[in-house]
Amino acid sequence: MKFTSVKNFFQPPAATLTHNLASISWNAAEWTFRQLGIKDRISGEDSVPAGQYVVMSNLETVFQEFKQQVAGRTSNFDRTFTRLQFQSLFAPTLVAGQCLSDQDLEVLLTFLSRDKGFIDYNGDIIRIRSSSDRSNIGPEDVAIASVKELTANLRHQTVALNLRVDSLNREIKSALSKNNRVAAQASLKSRKLAESSLVKRYATLNQLEDIAAKLQQASDQVQLVAVMKSSANALRSINTRVGGSDRVDEVMHQIREQMSEVDEVAAILAESTGETIDELEIQDELEALETETREAARLTKEKKEEVQEAHEIKEMHNELAKLPDIPTEIVSESDKSKTQAIEKQVAGLSLDHI
C-alpha cells in the first residue's frame, strides 16, 4: 500500500522528489552501517511514525466516484463551484457512510488538480476541466461560482424564514387560545418582520436566478461559438483538400466527357455489322422445330398410354388369379330328390322304434 504523510503530500513535486531521494540515500547508508555492525539492528527496526498519512489507493477510489457523480455536468455553469459549495455537494457523498473533513477535502482537491489535472483550483474556486476551457480560472468563473453560492444561501434563508413564519403562526394561535394578548401581539410583530425579510429574500433570489440564467446562457453561447469555430476550421480544411468550386467544376466536366466517350463507344459497338439474315429461313426452321416438338410430345403421350394399359391388364390378371376354382361335379335333380326323401324318413323316426 502506497502512502505518504500529509505534510509531504502538500509539498511541491520538486521538493517531494528531493525529500524522497534524500530518504533513499539515508536508508542505503543506514543499511550499510547495519551490515558493518556500526548501527544496532534492533534499535533501527522500521516503524511508521505517528501522524496523518494520505493513502493513494483511497484517493484513486474517491477520484473514480467523483468522476461518476459529475459525468452529467457538461456546461461551464454546472462545472464551476466555490469551495464551500463543492464541500456541501460532494463531501457527504463521495465516501459511503462518511463525510469528508476540511483536510480530506483539501487533499482531494490538490490531488484532482495537481496530480490528475481533472479540475482547476485556486483555493477558492473549483472548475471541472473541459477541453474547451482555458488553463486558468477567469473572472467569469468567479462570477458564476459566487452567484451559485449566493443563490444557495438565499434559498436556505427562505426555507428558514418560512419555518420561522409557520412557528410564529402557531405561537399566535396558542397565545390567543390562552387569552394572552401580549404574547400574541409580540409574535405577530415578529411574524411581520419575518414576512418582510422573506419578501426581500425572494426578490433578491429572483434577481439572482435571472442573473444565473443569463450567465448560463452566455456560457452555453461561448461553447456554441467555440464549436462553430472549430466546425468552420474543419470545413475550411476539407474545402482546401477538395480544391474549391473551380476544381470540382473541372472534375465534373472531365466526368461528363468520359461518360460521353463511353456512350459513343457503346453506340458504335451496337451498330449492325452488315450481315443479312433471311427471315423466311428462320420462320421455316422455327416451324420445323415446332412440328418436331409436337411429334415428340405425341409419341411420348402414346407410349405413356400403352404403359398404363399394360399395367391395368396385369392388375386384372392378378385379380382373376385370386378367384376360387369352379367345381367339376354337378349334383343332379334326381339325387337331390332322393336325398330329401331320406331326410324326411329319418325325421319321422322316433326313439321308441329303436
Q: Three-state DSSP class for 50?
A: coil
In a domain, residue 58? The reply is yes
In a domain, residue 290? The reply is no
In a domain, residue 337? The reply is no
Q: Is 126 in the same domain as 231?
A: no
Mean pLDDT score, 217-232: 83
Q: Is 3 in the same domain as 120?
A: yes
Q: Is 175 in the same domain as 218?
A: yes
Top pLDDT among 213 and 354 is at: 213
Per-residue model confidence as pLDDT tens digits over 165-187: 999 999 999 988 988 888 889 99
- Structural domain boundaries, residue 145: 139-279
pLDDT of residue 22: 43
In a domain, residue 313? The reply is no
Q: Which residues are CB-contacts of 165 (< 8 A; sequence separation ≥ 6)?
A: 191, 194, 195, 198
- In the chain, the number of structural domains is 2
Rounded percentage of the chain residues whose pLDDT exceeds 70? 77
| Amino acid identity, position 51 | G
pLDDT of residue 244: 76
Q: Is 146 in the same domain as 122?
A: no
CA dihedral 192→197→198→202, nearest 10 degrees, is 150
Q: Is 1 in the same domain as 58?
A: yes
Q: Of 143, 118, 15, 30, give the one whose Cα is nearest residue 67.
A: 118
In a domain, residue 148? The reply is yes
Per-residue model confidence as pLDDT tens digits over 119-129: 999 889 999 98
Query: ∠ CA(33), CA(37), CA(39), 5° rounding?
Result: 55
Q: Is 116 in the same domain as 143?
A: no
Q: Is 147 in the same domain as 206?
A: yes
Q: Is 152 in the same domain as 208?
A: yes
Question: Which triple of cell numbers denotes residue 224?
Answer: 456554441
Q: Is 208 in the same domain as 98?
A: no
Parallel, antiparallel, or unpaired: how do β-strands 3-5 and 80-82 relate? unpaired
Q: Is 257 in the same domain as 270?
A: yes
In a domain, residue 174? The reply is yes
Q: Is 196 in the same domain as 78?
A: no
Top mean pLDDT of 4-8, 17-21, 23-27, 276-280 is at 4-8
Per-residue model confidence as pLDDT tens digits over 54-78: 888 888 999 999 999 998 888 888 8
In a domain, residue 131? The reply is yes
Domain boundary among 279, 308, 332: 279
Q: Is 89 in the same domain as 144?
A: no
Give the confidence band of 43 by pLDDT, cuts at 50, 70, 90: very low
Domain boundary among 84, 106, 137: 137
Domain boundary among 238, 263, 279: 279
Instruction: Return d(Cα 173, Cα 69) in angstroms, integer.
Output: 46
Q: What is the edge-to-edge ordering of all strands in the sheet holding 80-82? A: 80-82, 125-128, 119-121
Question: Does residue 93 surpass a pLDDT of 80?
Answer: yes
Q: Which residues are CB-contacts of 65 (< 8 A; sequence separation ≥ 6)?
A: 94, 95
Question: Does residue 15 surpass a pLDDT of 90?
Answer: no
